[in-house]
Amino acid sequence: MNTESVATRAPRRDAAENRAALLLAAKVVLNRDPSASLETIAAEAGLSRRSVYGHFVNRDELLLELVTSGARRVAISLEGLSHPDPLVRLALIASRLWQEIESVRMMAVIAIRGPLASHTAAALDPVRRIVREAITDGQRDGSMRNDLGRELLARLVEDTALLVLEESAEHPLPAREGHNLVMLMTLGVVGYGWRDAQNFIDAHHELDWTIPS
Amino acid sequence: MNTESVATRAPRRDAAENRAALLLAAKVVLNRDPSASLETIAAEAGLSRRSVYGHFVNRDELLLELVTSGARRVAISLEGLSHPDPLVRLALIASRLWQEIESVRMMAVIAIRGPLASHTAAALDPVRRIVREAITDGQRDGSMRNDLGRELLARLVEDTALLVLEESAEHPLPAREGHNLVMLMTLGVVGYGWRDAQNFIDAHHELDWTIPS
DNA sequence: GATAACTTGCACAATGCTGTGCAAGTTATT
DNA sequence: AATAACTTGCACAGCATTGTGCAAGTTATC
């Protein structure tokens, strides 16, 4: 059955674990310092820099895998997100992003530098699309401000959500409050005053905080 | 009169110009790429990397001077900013920051890396102080939201203003619109719905756009 | 036009990072 | 217990960057 005729042994189980440990370490370390060295990442994973090259051909390959797996997490978490009310939809997106905060921040950080930028942008494209959709609908039905263009508003929403995630990294918030804050700020950007925004959130159970699985 | 007894000639005028050119170039280049090399900066200034060391002992010295002069610009532009209404005050701060956008962005960018970070933070302290003052007053008199703590709200306001400045760097806005947008977003963060925020701005001449001097 | 002030180019050392080869270990699997 | 799979440490090359010395230019100022 083997492609090669030589008898080959199955890969060791701990190898896969180490690979995963490296990815996890990278996520953690890069959240702290976007330009951390492989040395630092490997150390965090409890491995040597040399052995990184046993799992990834490149620094970039490592980041690439990080980004794609992160994007997959986010995509899955956003999957099947469809609610008639575009406002609820938008708040739900914010809510889900909060649950995937580590991946999102890591990607945002990587998206800035080097050749990974374009790939990261592409990976996050689905998120952007549903954000725009919600905003288009919201502007059409009058539930969202119309003094700003759709494009601009979409970017402001994205960046504001990210802002809250960053903020909560430097000054940690109880998960419950962070979750509420992202939604609150998102609704604020699309035009709502703080009381209205909070009332809206309180009025929709879909937006309630639930302990993360 | 000279400290030294040897006859000494006055420094050449173009030296000062070149020094200024370097600072300007650094501001421009670092806005594009926060980790630009001295080579790049010198080239932008039309000088050679070697001659940078004729004006500054260090890379860090250059940045230090950039930051301090930038902070001075901002401080001056914020000088004598006192209005009874804390909301107007806050919007005025946003307005002034918009006028000093290049300095502000440059400082924000530098504030992230290396040993300059603490100095930059210190240089921007006055700005932070008046922001907090306005927010304290605003929360007291009920004109700003009170569902978020003063500290948190202050940071959100700062970051949101910065967000708009960054946004306008990537997707340029007419000065007039950018100016309005920073104020709009700032008022939004402290609790106002989009119509109320715009009405507020329109109702106060102090917040009108005036061609920059 | 003499000369100090300034710029330049080159060479060089030092640093910190990535990526590779290899020999010697350790450990999971068979 | 044999052995392939994996890790490690070290040495080395390559690259980009900062910072310095120096000799040769250019130019503003006296």
Model pLDDT for residues B112-138, shown as the tens digit of each residue: 877 888 899 999 999 999 999 999 999
Q: Has residue A118 got a pLDDT over 70?
A: yes
pLDDT greater than 90 at residue A201: yes
Whether the CB of A189 is below 8 Å from some CB of chain B: the reply is yes
A83-92, A118-127, A161-170, B157-166, range with the lowest pLDDT: A118-127
Interchain CB contact of A145 with B (< 8 Å): yes
How confident is the model over A34-40, as a mean pLDDT?
96
Q: Which of A172, A169, A202 is nearest to A91 (CA)?
A: A202
Contact A98, A179 (CB under 8 A): yes
How high does pLDDT run on average in chain A? 94
pLDDT at A211: 82
- How confident is the model at residue A2, as a pLDDT? 40
For residue B1, pLDDT over 60 is answered with no
Strand C close residues, chain B 134-163, CB < 7 angstroms:
none
Give percent above pLDDT 70 in chain B: 97
Using pLDDT thresholds of 50, 70 and 90, give the confidence band for residue B7: low
* Domain chopping of chain B, boundaries: 8-56, 63-207
Task: Give the residue among A195, A122, A134, A137 at the shortest CA–CA distance from A161.
Answer: A134
Residue of B nearest to A185 (CA): B189
| CATH (one of 1.10.10, 1.10.4160, 1.10.3470, 1.20.1260) for A8-56 | 1.10.10
Contacts of A196 (CB under 8 A, 6+ apart): A187, B193
For residues A67 and A85, give the distance between their C-alpha atoms in angstroms, rounded to a whole number.
31
pLDDT of res. B99: 95
Q: What is the pLDDT of residue B6?
A: 58
Which pLDDT belongs to residue A171? 96
d(CA B78, CA B94): 10
Q: Is the pLDDT of residue A37 over 50?
A: yes
User: Does the domain at residues A63-207 carry the CATH identifier 1.10.357.10?
Assistant: yes
